[in-house]
Amino acid sequence: MFNRNNTTIMPFENKVWLSSPTMHGDEINYVIEAYETNWMSTVGKNINEVEQFCASKVGVKYGVALSCGTAALHLAVKLAGVKPGDKVFCSDMTFDATVNPVVYEGGVPIFIDAEYDTWNTDPIALEKAFELYPEVKTVVIAHLYGTPGKIDEIKAICKRHNAVIVEDAAESFGATYKGKQTGSFGEFNCISFNGNKIITGSSGGMLLTDDVEMANKVRKWSTQSRENAPWYQHEELGYNYRMSNVVAGVIRGQLPYLYEHISQKKSIYKRYKKGFEGLPVSMNPYDIDNCEPNFWLSCMIIDREAMCKQVRSECEALYLPEKGKSCPTEILETLASYNVEGRPIWKPMHMQPIYRMHSFVTREGCGRAKTNAYMAGGIVGKDGKPVDVGMDIFARGLCLPSDNKMTEKEQDIIIEIVRRCFE
Ligand X SMILES: *Cc1c(COP(=O)(O)O)cnc(C)c1O
Name the site residues for ligand X (rule: CB under 6 A). 68-70, 94-95, 97-98, 142, 168, 170-171, 192, 194, 205
Give the nearest distance from C-beta 117 to ligand X in angstroms. Answer: 18
Give the nearest distance from C-beta 171 to ligand X in angstroms. Answer: 4
d(CA 327, CA 339): 19
Q: Which of 66, 387 has the CB closer to ligand X?
A: 66
Closest by alpha carbon to 53, among 246, 199, 218, 222?
199
d(CA 219, CA 66): 9
- The answer for residues whose C-beta is within 8 angstroms of residue 21's C-beta and 6 or more apart is 195, 196, 200, 202
Closest by alpha carbon to 93, among 73, 111, 69?
111
Give the nearest distance from C-beta 77 to ligand X in angstroms. Answer: 12
Q: Which of 189, 334 has the CB closer to ligand X?
A: 189
- The answer for residues whose C-beta is within 8 angstroms of residue 110's C-beta and 6 or more apart is 87, 88, 89, 90, 129, 133, 136, 358, 359, 360, 361
Q: Of all residues in this chain, which one has the CB nearest to ligand X in the complex? A: 69
Give the nearest distance from C-beta 41 to ligand X in angstroms. Answer: 20
- The answer for residues whose C-beta is within 8 angstroms of residue 202's C-beta and 6 or more apart is 21, 193, 195, 247, 250
Q: Is 111 helix (H, G, I), strand (E, B) or coil?
A: strand
Q: How many CB atoms lie within 10 A of CB 337?
A: 12
Give the nearest distance from C-beta 203 to ligand X in angstroms. Answer: 6
Q: Which of 251, 308 has the CB closer to ligand X?
A: 251
Q: Is 311 helix (H, G, I), strand (E, B) or coil?
A: strand
Give the nearest distance from C-beta 107 to ligand X in angstroms. Answer: 16
d(CA 196, CA 277): 28
Q: Which of 189, 326 has the CB closer to ligand X?
A: 189
Closest by alpha carbon to 376, among 394, 350, 353, 349?
394
d(CA 213, CA 412): 51
Give the nearest distance from C-beta 98 to ligand X in angstroms. Answer: 5
